[in-house]
Structure 1
């Protein structure tokens, strides 16, 4: 939803501005992805532990 709206906005804007926005968007997106991956790595042992316990039962 949000991505589609952003695309529509970017179409209206000039090319120079568009490139700036896309750069910042991609930067924020990658930042979020990195944070999510870090969280997954932190939570993974717990999830694996729970999974093994469930399999044992």
Structure 2
């Protein structure tokens, strides 16, 4: 848990809430192709990038 919080910068509960919001937004979009990463992985990469900038 602490490793996750350090690398991403937030607690697991908040991360899960963000994934739910992203899933709702993705469901509303028109799809044109498959994403190569899951929403969880996309969010993890984005948050890790923002922490490093």
TM-score by length of 1: 0.36
Q: Whose helix proportion is higher, 1 or 2?
A: 1
**Over alpha carbons, which structure has the higher Rg?**
1
Relative contact order (C-alpha < 8 Å, sep 6+): which is higher?
2
